[in-house]
Amino acid sequence: MKITFGDTMHVYGALGAGVDYTVRFIVRLNDRIDSEVLSSAVDTASLRFPYFMGRLVRSGEELEYTDNHLPVKINEGNARVVLNSASTNYHVWAVSYMDDYLYLDFFHGITDGTGMYRVLAAILYHYCRNIYGIDKIPELETADVAAEMEDPQDRLPSVQIPEVSYTPAFTLETDGGLTRSAPKIWDIGIPEDVFIDFVRSHDSTPGTMTEILMGRAIDSVYPDHSKPLISSYVINARPMVGADKTNHNCLGMSVFDYSAAIGSMPLTKQGTVYRGKTFVQSREEAVEAGLSANAMTVKAVLASNPSLQARKEAFASMFNGGEGFITYLVSYPGKWKYPSIGAYMKEFRTHPPCTFGLMTILGAAGGKITLSIQQRFKENTVVEAFFSQLKEFSIPYSVISSGVSDVAGFEMPV
């Protein structure tokens, strides 16, 4: 299977940058997991997503997916796994379990968080249907393979690639003087009803409020920073390009600057400003133009770099394009979509790949908002300042866990 334009940069860029570009979902269920029922659920879900049943291989000077008829690997325990390797039957995703925890590891090169979320939902659906007898959810049983395999970036209109200049941002590892280290993840739990009431009272959303609180935290640690604090907020671009069912990478970005003017505003006005920025940058025409430009750039890079080595180098530059221009990143895919499954979930966490110095991914299930904060520096000054922000606004929280990142390795073809 050929790699589409929407996925190309993610695959070749990760290879060129030497990054394990994988995501780990962690779900805590109400009861201890039944391994036999889980195995059946994974097998059934695999049939629902045939286009994810592949192995990434080298074919001449290109990378592509070949069919993989081996079963998806299910591991007991929560140890870090290596995707696309013999230990995971050469699949680009794998499942693990321990006690009442389920882990889904997935390669970000083949899909984004929305696509991974759909696979996770299908596994949990078949598991909960067998264990608890929940009602049918047709969309998790039946695939619209053609629509799900379509990549909108393969059909968007051609545009002129715009010349873009970026403002250098304050970065924690260079300007902030923090010590580069192995990525560490903090999982923070907040009662969902409390946080939702809080963000609504300040004209905000969970994702944009997290952007604001993190900006405030960094600003408090570095009040004399000369470069701006610039953050990125991930947008699901599917609705803007008429591709709701696609399971390829289909993402846009909103960019915020936590300026001195914004920093001097009351929190509610900050919420209004960030909501406005999100609205403007999420307009259909703006998102479509961005994806079209990305597709044209990918085409141009492929055409001018025929060798695998050249493509690795060119796309690695794109992959690392945020270095020096983004202070931190936030992503929130929204509240868990399926209440009948959510009734049996205590926690829903997402551990991201190590592609930014500081990033926060939100999850919402089981009456709890979970913030997974990943940093690739040794000091804990920023996360502690973030905790201080939560305390300042009387937002109750608990540290669920903290430690070195556990996202999967990925064995790239050479």
pLDDT, tens digit, for every residue of 3-47?
A: 999 999 999 999 999 999 999 999 999 999 999 999 999 999 999
What pLDDT is stored for residue 333 in this prediction?
87
In this prediction, residues 337-365 reach a mean pLDDT of 95
In this prediction, residues 376-384 reach a mean pLDDT of 97
Task: Give residue 160's pLDDT band: very low, low, confident or very high (50, 70, 90).
Answer: confident
- Would you state the structure tokens that stand for residue 389, as one six-digit string? 């922000």
Q: Which of 158-167, 225-234, 265-274, 354-363 has the lowest mean pLDDT?
A: 158-167
What pLDDT is stored for residue 237 in this prediction?
95
Over 80: is that where the pLDDT of 343 sits?
yes
CA distance 234 to 253: 5
Q: List, in order, residues 6 or more apart from 230 with CB less than 8 Å away.
A: 167, 169, 170, 255, 256, 257, 258, 325, 326, 327
Query: Cβ distance 233 to 257 under 8 Å?
Result: no
Q: What is the pTM of this model?
A: 0.96
Over 90: is that where the pLDDT of 384 sits?
yes
Scanning 243-307, the segments in alpha helix (DSSP H) are 260-263, 267-281, 284-304
Over 90: is that where the pLDDT of 250 sits?
yes
Query: Cβ distance 89 to 37 under 8 Å?
Result: no
Find residue 410's DSSP bridge partners: 83
In this prediction, residues 384-408 reach a mean pLDDT of 97
Amino acid identity of residue 204, one-letter, is: S
183 by Cβ neighbours in 10 Å (0-12 / 13-18 / 19+) ranks as buried
Q: Which of 141-145, 153-157, 180-184 has the lowest mean pLDDT?
A: 153-157
Query: Cβ distance 368 to 28 under 8 Å?
Result: no
In this prediction, residues 186-209 reach a mean pLDDT of 97
SS3 content of the chain, % helix, strand, coil (to 5): 40, 25, 35
In this prediction, residues 207-234 reach a mean pLDDT of 96
CA contacts within 13 A on the Cβ side of 234: 20
| C-alpha distance from residue 316 to each of 10, 55, 273, 322, 395 (Å) | 9, 21, 34, 11, 40
Query: Cβ distance 81 to 409 under 8 Å?
Result: yes
Find residue 295's DSSP bridge partners: none
Over 90: is that where the pLDDT of 163 sits?
no
In this prediction, residues 146-167 reach a mean pLDDT of 87
Task: Give residue 334's pLDDT band: very low, low, confident or very high (50, 70, 90).
Answer: confident
Over 90: is that where the pLDDT of 162 sits?
no
In this prediction, residues 347-360 reach a mean pLDDT of 95
In this prediction, residues 282-289 reach a mean pLDDT of 92
CA distance 141 to 134: 13
Q: List, in order, residues 6 or more apart from 123 with CB less than 8 Å away.
A: 38, 41, 42, 45, 95, 102, 104
Over 90: is that where the pLDDT of 342 sits?
yes
| Residues making up the chain, counted from first to last | 414
What pLDDT is stored for residue 322 in this prediction?
87
How many degrees, rounded to 5, is the angle at CA 249 between CA 245 and CA 254? 105
What pLDDT is stored for residue 143 in this prediction?
93
What pLDDT is stored for residue 161 in this prediction?
78
What is the distance between the terminal CA atoms of the chain, rounded to a whole angstrom?
A: 18
Over 90: is that where the pLDDT of 271 sits?
yes
Over 90: is that where the pLDDT of 377 sits?
yes
What pLDDT is stored for residue 6 in this prediction?
95
What pLDDT is stored for residue 165 in this prediction?
77
